[in-house]
Amino acid sequence: MRTGIATIPLDYGKCPRWLFERMKRLARGIIIAITEEIEPDEVLKRFSDPVWFQSLGCVLAFDWNSSGLTTTTLGAVKAALFDIQDRLGIYVCGGKGKTSRKTPEEITAYGISRGFSFAPDLIYASKMAAKIDSSLIQAGYQIYHHNLLFTKSGKWTVIQQGLNTENQTARRYHWLSSGVKDFVEEPHSGIAADVKVKPLNLVAKESRGNKEISTQLVKEEPKGFLKDLNLIQTKRSKSLVQMSLYDKEFHWHPVVEEKFDLKRLEKTIFFANEQNPKNFEQLLSLKGVGPKTIRALSLVAEIIYGAKPSYEDPARYSFAHGGKDGTPYFPEPEDMDKTIRILEKGIQMSKVSNREKIEAQKRLKSLE
């Protein structure tokens, strides 16, 4: 299993209707082939792999490095499966922009109409995935696309994408339910990216202490936290300052230049205090606790209490089948042949012209 993050150039434009219709038919055939060859849950595993998903988009005829591949491929998949979702046992919720915010409503509707008792768990997973990728990995990407795919067994995968207008790139996040042991600690088991930055990375194991103190600050010392944050802000100058932190494990810290709205933050912190969160995950799940609140808590936990978070980008290179040099492992011919066979079968099953099938096979061959 390879789930994680893919970083790709930000692209603008609209997919032509004729192309979208052909992508729908190809996607339909490929997904039917996977469910017939293996099982519906295998579709989730494939979609949670950023490299496999990118390859699927290319086979469907979209640009290999376009941010539009994510939104258009998932839009085609959702439309392609709608009338056969109950037969296949695969359901797709969410989408781009306003549609992404309707994901909980769509899940609820499926829960009522199909009697899925696990619907509340899916809604929680959807909301937490979105919060974590925007608040715990603060790399400058604003989430604007969110899809949750699930099966009748209650298993799910989330694919969402954020945009960064400064460096003109989009970053795609992949989740798989079976790979999530802890929502707030390294939920991505494998990450693919071309661009690395220096984010606030609170999903790293190295950030565990920072998160624990942040939770304690909310539960036990909300007034103390606000006082410390105000102290940090008043000590600032136009340049980075040094703060004496005697009796701490370090004695100075380059303070990040950021102005927090203390009145607004105070309301959020005291509301969170009233909820008495048992742990950091519960704290993050609370309404109103977003990137800025998390950033402020993390800053005080680091500067005042010496609990340094990770600033390493969690992005890692991820492979569909491994590399010839053994990175991260040597490819297994049987796995590669199986993937190619499924995609080829899907292409043949698609209701498109012979010419379009030949073109799709050519694109598939170019990915081998």
Query: Which of 303, 325, 352 marks a domain boundary?
Result: 303
* 309 lies in some domain: no
70 with 172, same domain: the answer is yes
DSSP E strands in the chain: the ranges are: 5-9, 90-96, 137-138, 142-151, 156-164, 169-176, 200-201
In sequence order, which ranges of 199-332 are alpha helices (DSSP H)? 208-220, 222-234, 262-275, 280-285, 291-303
Reported as a single tens digit per residue, the pLDDT across 243-252 is 444 454 444 4
Rounding to the nearest 10 degrees, give the CA dihedral for residues 179, 183, 184, 186: 10
48 with 121, same domain: the answer is yes
Predicted local distance difference test score (pLDDT) of residue 52: 81
Predicted local distance difference test score (pLDDT) of residue 240: 43
What domain range is 251 assigned to?
A: 205-303
106 with 214, same domain: the answer is no
* 310 lies in some domain: no
- Is the pTM higher than 0.95? no
The tokens of 352 are what?
Answer: 């498109």
283 with 346, same domain: the answer is no
Which residues have C-beta within 8 Å of that of residue 173, sequence separation ≥ 6? Answer: 4, 5, 129, 133, 158, 159, 160, 161, 162, 188
Which parts of the chain sit beneath pLDDT 50? Answer: 1-2, 64, 237-246, 248-255, 317-325, 327-329, 367
Instruction: Specify the number of domains making up the chain.
Output: 2
- C-alpha 338/C-alpha 342 separation (Å) is 6
Contact between 25 and 348 under an 8 Å Cβ cutoff? The reply is no
- C-alpha 261/C-alpha 206 separation (Å) is 28
CA atoms within 13 A on the CB side of 206: 11
Reported as a single tens digit per residue, the pLDDT across 264-318 is 999 999 999 999 999 999 999 999 999 999 999 999 999 899 999 999 888 654 4
Residue with tokens 């808590």: 297
Contact between 215 and 277 under an 8 Å Cβ cutoff? The reply is yes
Radius of gyration of the chain (CA): 23
